[in-house]
Structure 1
């Protein structure tokens, strides 16, 4: 393991919380916040930088802003992180997010995602995260979807890779329960979409 890899593993998060951001626009971010705007008070320091003057860390915190969505997050990550493909943790908690943008699927190593304290009201938004096979921990409490009577069983059925939901371990029994009707319906829809896509891609 070289020095960069060591720092990447042990590095502090790039903390851009409490920056009053309403959207993610890279040019505006660089003008108003920039890498120099990273916060250091919460974790008593900032990540080290690599040869390209970007942060050596696997974590970005965007919590406590005013984001209504996180479109272009993939672009921001590539501006901020030395090794963007190694991104493992994003904190979007306490924003105003209503939907999950599929740009996040570009980061296959994501293991932790925080969405608590947002405004996601459609349970089916959760299904967008199913392709993230490394995802182990996620939060949605404080969103309207968490008030659904079958919320937890739906999320566990749609995201079977999870080990922790809302800071509570997903136990083995939960994974063996029958999926709720909403999850069964959504999984069937996704299966049909995949079949159609595969059919189109097959050589004639």
Structure 2
């Protein structure tokens, strides 16, 4: 895709058919559609900001490093903010997400638009509640961590746009009813562990949810 012309002043109202046909289903739907299209594309479709394989112990360590180069060059604003909505932090030594909001606020020109984050192959023992604050999050990779409790999935139920989740390679994957519990807990999901959620998956999840409703206390609330 050609580099965006950020000096353009052509502002348009996107027609409804263009909205549906031109945007992938994994992209945020609640972003205002009246926008400068070149700026919108350069931010939403910007290259993944990649801090994988950097031996990170904490998120602030990212600020001491530059993102890994990829096939596409990073695009920056005049104040050195990255035009992107996706972040890769996989294959590090992270065990919590302290400072995530500060990090994306420093890195991204539009931090509230973050919709894709890869936290795979770290050492997270829980799903950090800070992820709930990423209200446009749609794709979350958490495979290859140390999460061992099914109720941790309850936190993600509050993310209205969540579409794809990976949890395989965590101890929780070995628990009975793992897939059905997640499908029933996060009904907005379309894909779990890179496998499309079928009608049968949803039916089984509904039966399990009904069966266990009276056997367990109400779900924990997360803010």
User: 1:186 and 1:128, CA in 2 relative to 1: closer, same or farther beyond 3 A?
Assistant: farther
CA contact (8 A) 1:136 1:162 kept: yes
Q: Is the aligned partner of 1:6 residue 2:35? A: no
- Aligned partner of 2:28 in structure 1 is none
Once the two structures are superposed, the pairs formed by residues 26-45 of structure 1 within 5 Å of their partners are 28-30=61-63, 32-33=64-65, 37-40=66-69, 43-45=70-72
- Aligned partner of 2:173 in structure 1 is 146
- Aligned partner of 1:158 in structure 2 is 185
User: 1:81 and 1:187, CA in 2 relative to 1: closer, same or farther beyond 3 A?
Assistant: farther
TM-score between both structures, scaled by the size of structure 1 = 0.83
- Aligned partner of 2:56 in structure 1 is 21
- Please state which structure has a larger fraction of its residues in helix: 1
Q: Is the aligned partner of 1:78 residue 2:111? A: no
Deviates more, 1:70-79 or 1:135-144: 70-79
Where does structure 2 lack aligned partners over 5 or more consecutive residues?
Answer: 1-34
Distance in 2 (alpha carbons) for counterparts of 1:97 and 1:127: 16
CA contact (8 A) 2:89 2:117 kept: yes
State the number of aligned residues. 186
- Taking only aligned residues, the RMSD between alpha carbons, in angstroms, comes to 2.3
Distance in 2 (alpha carbons) for counterparts of 1:185 and 1:46: 54
CA contact (8 A) 2:96 2:128 kept: yes
User: 1:38 and 1:182, CA in 2 relative to 1: closer, same or farther beyond 3 A?
Assistant: farther
Distance in 1 (alpha carbons) for counterparts of 2:170 and 2:113: 28
Distance in 1 (alpha carbons) for counterparts of 2:215 and 2:48: 35
- Aligned partner of 1:116 in structure 2 is 143
Distance in 1 (alpha carbons) for counterparts of 2:97 and 2:215: 23
User: 1:185 and 1:115, CA in 2 relative to 1: closer, same or farther beyond 3 A?
Assistant: farther
- Aligned partner of 2:3 in structure 1 is none
TM-score between both structures, scaled by the size of structure 2 = 0.76
User: 1:119 and 1:182, CA in 2 relative to 1: closer, same or farther beyond 3 A?
Assistant: farther
- Aligned partner of 1:104 in structure 2 is 131
